[in-house]
Amino acid sequence: MTYLITGGGGFLGARLARALKAKQPAAKITLLDVAFPPGLEREFTCVQGDLSEPRVLASALQRDTRSVFHLAAVVSGGAEADFDLGYRVNLDGTRALLEACRALAAPPKIVYASSVAAFGGTLPEVLDDSTTPTPQTSYGTQKVIGEYLLADWTRKGMADGRSLRLPTIVVRPGKPNLAASSFASGIIREPLNGVVSECPVPDTTGVWILSPKRVVEAFLHAHDLPGSAWPTSRVVNLPGITLTVREMIDAMGRVAGKGAVGRVKFVPDARIQGIVKTWPVRFRTERALAMGFSADPDFESAVRDYLETEGIAVPA
């Protein structure tokens, strides 16, 4: 099998590539991104460049590519701050990828990383599979348009699309990025690494969360499901758990001690608060659960998974 992972230089893309390789050792896996961490090119074929450029896509997509995991995107805060960049990558890049897939030997499976930023405005207290997307950010708008494009490509028989609306992924390793949700990982990651973290939102702020381990499992599961398992929309809201910022910090304290909790400082940021407050925090995800997707059992598990994956010792 031949696979392409866009956004393959990011931590989720790289983790997905390794999980896919462990599952299918003989698979040919190409990663496409604007940059790659050192050493990744020794494990996979890496194509560096802009997703929206045809020559880059031509280098990354082999005619026998059977499956594409489309993770590449300008993240929420970045897409809101740079309107043109967000649309060029998140919308034009997605359209260019879909067009390029039409030239493949057979219509590929395409697993698309969408977002709960698809929702916003006046919402019910608990969202479900029938809630209409009403994005209130450019990022959310771009993601919803991508969902519709992929569903239409599927309807026309030009792809076998599967869109996953991802919760906020916590705990992300590495440095903070431009995502408005970056604080959700920062208030855990930095304290566990002995660094002070500034939280831009009140501790009562709710977040819909899924761990990196579970989201990689979700990508693989979405790929392996038969097309008949998917609704006409080709979209599911992934299961997650709802926590306030205070509940996240307290859970970290139960795993790593009071010292880590004391390294979280609250420094309000009106811009981040303005974006985050539009996001829903509670879902009923009957459709995804019936399809075999699953959430983390608790947040302590996500913290422990981060510590184990990053090789960080837990205080005695």
Q: Which residues are catalytic?
A: 139
Provide the 3-class DSSP secondary structure of residue 221.
Answer: helix
Provide the 3-class DSSP secondary structure of residue 47.
Answer: strand
DSSP E strands: which ranges in the chain?
Answer: 2-6, 28-33, 45-48, 67-70, 109-115, 160-166, 168-169, 197-199, 206-210, 235-237, 241-244, 264-266
CA angle, 179 then 124 then 86, to 5° = 25
CB-CB contact of 149 with 91 (8 Å): no
Q: Which long-range contacts (CB under 8 A, 24 or more apart) does 223-230 make?
A: 223/67, 223/69, 223/109, 223/111, 223/162, 225/162, 225/291, 225/292, 227/160, 229/291, 230/162, 230/291
The 8-class DSSP code of residue 178 comes to: S
Tokens of 98: 């879909």
- Least Cα distance to 220 among 15, 8, 53 occurs for 15
